[in-house]
Amino acid sequence: MKKLVGFIVALAVVSTAVGAEQFVVYTYRSFVRYGPAAAIEEVFEAAHPGVDLVWVAPGGGAEMLSRLLAELAVGETDADLFLGVSAMDLPRALAAEAFQPYDPALIPNLAHIPEDLHFDSTGRVLPFDHGYVAFVASDALPADLLPRTFADLLRPELRGKIILQDPRTSTTGLAFLLWTVAHFGDDWPAFWKALLPNTLTITKGWSEAFAMFEAGEAPIVLSYSTDAAYSYLTGGAAAYHVLTPDGEGYRLIEGMGIVRTSAKLDLAHSFLDIVLSPEIQELIPMSQWMFPVHDEVALPPDFARYAVLPPHPVFIPPTDVADHLEEWITTWQQILGGP
């Protein structure tokens, strides 16, 4: 396996192969640092001798998508494929015509992806993993106060005990806003108004929120349904309680697509199929802390024991989000009384 040596956050991973054809994949930083990028590279390059897979990953997913769209706007991108477009970012990618249609016949593993995980009806972006936004509580919270429903989140005993994230700057924050819209319909603003007294703070991002939670500043944080699995598998103890109010959690899906300017379609379809293969999909839980999309891949036993699959996943189609998001964000800002 070719090692990803000397990866620097500010720079792309640069090929060391001389004279090789390059296949360039834009993705997000953590996928290369911690995810299955190296394993994908090994399989891909073994299948295509003389081709060098180059990862470009100096930023996060939304940042890298913005970079791709900016490059496409001036016709100067080296990217052949983008891995890491979220369902919530899909509308702006489609509006910019960032991706070209894929050919299902060239992706055999596509047959193993459940229909409910396909979030792009245009046939341009394929899912490669999925997870769920949920609430996580620490042992500092008495068992009788663990919220089991949305109504429980409003109990006066939880005043100032919940940390949330801003939907304008955070993936988890936006997921929770959409979740409340899906759960309450037109009554979602009333829920938010009632929730504010129990909210200690609303941070810009997940990292800041979880750091406050770990520091004991509040016993409940908006986070991910795999947090207890992560805690157990990395620290030896399931230190957190994953909470899925009313059995729900908001589904996050990540996808990948062939950049519209790429002419390397055979390589692109091979890459898509490799990422969806069982040997790569089985790496997703322990590297991405997400769930695989291949329906025949078994979860690692301890991951399966502690990771929570909400009984009633919640998901708003990207087209509906695009149609109403500005309105929802404006209303949310008004509830908080700020700009």
Domain residue spans in the chain? 21-130+253-305, 133-251+307-336
- For residues 279 and 277, give the distance between their C-alpha atoms in angstroms, rounded to a whole number: 6
Residue 15 predicted with pLDDT over 50: no
Ramachandran angles phi, psi of 259, nearest 5°: -65, 140
14: left (phi over 0), alpha (psi -120 to 50) or beta: beta
**Which pLDDT score, from 0 to 100, does residue 1 have?**
35
Residues of the chain with pLDDT > 90, as a percent, come to: 84
Instruction: Give the three-state DSSP class for 337.
Output: coil
Longest dimension (CA), the chain: 66
pLDDT at 254 over 50: yes
Under CATH, to which class is 133-251+307-336 assigned? alpha beta
pTM (2 decimals)? 0.86
In this chain, the answer to whether the domains covering 21-130+253-305 and 133-251+307-336 adopt an identical fold is yes
Residue 9: what pLDDT? 34
Q: What class is the 21-130+253-305 domain?
A: alpha beta
Residue 81 pLDDT > 60:
yes
Within 10 A of 260 (CB to CB), how many other CB atoms are there? 14
Strand partners, 144: none
pLDDT range class, residue 339, cuts 50, 70, 90: low
Average pLDDT, the chain: 92
Per-residue pLDDT band at 40 (split at 50, 70, 90) = very high
Provide the pLDDT confidence category of residue 187 given band limits of 50, 70 and 90.
very high
Helix (H) / strand (E) element for 256: namely strand 248-259
pLDDT of res. 16 = 44
CA-nearest of 11, 26, 9, 27 to 288 is: 27
Neighbours of 5 (CB within 10 A): 7
Q: How confident is the model at residue 60 (pLDDT cuts 50, 70, 90)?
A: confident
